[in-house]
A and B are shown apart, each in its own frame.
Chain A
Amino acid sequence: MPVLHTGRRRTKLDRSYNGPPRQGPVRHISPAQLNLERVYEQNRINIQKKDATKAPEPAPGPAAKGKPRLLLMGQRRSGKSSISSVVFHKMPPNETLFLESTARIQKDSMQLVPCLYSNDRTDRSSSFMDFQVWDFPGQVDFMDPSFDLDAIFGEIGALIWVIDAQDDYIEAINRLNSTILNLQPSYPNVNVEVFIHKVDGLSDDYKLDIQRDIMQRIQDELSDHGVENAPITFHLTSIYNHSIFEAFSKVIQKLIPHLATLEALLNDLCRACRFEKAYLFDVLSKIYIATDSSPVDMPSYEICSDYIDVIVDVSEIYGWERPKEYIEFLEGPPWNKKLEDQVACKNAESVIVLTDMKRPIMLREVNQYLALVAIMCEGSHEKMPSVTMNVEATVTGLSEVFEITKQRK
Chain B
Amino acid sequence: MDNMNNLSIQDEPVASPASEPRKQKKKKVLLMGKSGSGKSSMRSIIFSNYVAKDTRRLGATIDVDLSHVKFLGNLTLNLWDCGGQDAFMENYLNQQRQHVFSNVGVLIYVFDIESRDFDRDLITYMNIVKALSQFSPTANVYLLIHKMDLIPPVQREDLYNHRVSIVRSKSATFDPTPFATSIWDQSLYKAWAEIIHDLVPNLDQIEKHLGSLGKMIMAEEVLLFERSSFLVVSSWCSKEIFTGDKDNPAQNPTYDRNERLSNIIKNFKQSTSRYTGTPKSAEQFSVFELKMPNFCMFIVKFTTNTYLGVVLPPGEERFNAAMENCYIARKEFEDLDSPAKKSADRGATSESLEIG
Contacts and interface: CB of A to CB of B under 8 A. Distances in A.
B341 interface: no
Given A302-B274, A307-B268, A355-B284, A322 B291 contact: no
Given A319-B295, A320-B254, A323-B243, A355 B271 contact: no
Contacts of A299: 274-275
B293 interface: yes
A318 B284 contact: no
A353 B317 contact: no
Interface in A337-366: 339-340, 342-358
Nearest to B297: A318
A335 interface: yes
A326 interface: yes
Given A320-B252, A322-B294, A351 B268 contact: no
B242 interface: yes
Interface in B231-269: 240-244, 250, 252-254, 257, 260-261, 264-265, 267-268
B352 interface: no
Interface residues on A, range: 35 or more
B271 A313 contact: no
B311 interface: yes
Interface residues of B, number: 46
Contacts of B293: 5, 340, 343, 346-348
Contacts of A351: 287-289
A381 interface: yes
A23 B185 contact: yes
Interface in A18-34: 21, 23-24
B283 interface: yes
B192 to A, nearest CB: 18
Given A302-B271, A318-B257, A339-B315, A311 B276 contact: no
Q: Is the interface of A mostly helix, strand, loop or mixed?
A: helix
Contact of B315 (A329, A342, A347): A342
A245 to B, nearest CB: 14
A314 B274 contact: no
A350 B291 contact: yes
Contact of B282 (A23, A307, A335, A355): A355
A300 interface: yes
Interface string A249-269: 000000000000000000000
Nearest to A364: B291
B314 interface: yes
B257 A317 contact: yes
A303 interface: yes
A309 B250 CA distance: 27
Contacts of B244: 323, 325
A84 B113 CA distance: 35
A356 B316 contact: no
Contacts of B185: 23-24
B259 to A, nearest CB: 10
A326 B285 contact: no
A379 to B, nearest CB: 12
B274 A326 contact: no
Contact of B287 (A313, A319, A353): A353
B51 to A, nearest CB: 13
A188 to B, nearest CB: 42
A177 interface: no
B67 interface: no
Most chain A CB inside 10 Å of its own CB: which residue of B261, B271, B275, B297: B275
Contacts of A315: 290, 292
A321 to B, nearest CB: 8
A318 B267 CA distance: 18
A356 B278 CA distance: 8
Contacts of A21: 254
Interface of B: 185, 240-244, 250, 252-254, 257, 260-261, 264-265, 267-268, 271-272, 274-278, 282-295, 297, 311, 313-318
Given A318-B292, A339-B313, A381-B287, 10 more contacts: A23-B185, A302-B271, A319-B295, A322-B250, A343-B314, A346-B293, A350-B290, A353-B285, A353-B287, A354-B284
Interface of A: 4-5, 21, 23-24, 299-300, 302-303, 306-307, 309-311, 313-323, 325-326, 329-330, 335, 339-340, 342-358, 381
14 contacts: A5-B293, A303-B272, A311-B290, A314-B297, A315-B290, A319-B292, A322-B313, A323-B242, A325-B244, A329-B240, A343-B315, A348-B290, A354-B272, A356-B282
> Top 10 closest A-B pairs, CB basis?
A342-B315, A356-B276, A306-B271, A325-B242, A350-B290, A303-B275, A323-B243, A353-B287, A352-B288, A349-B291
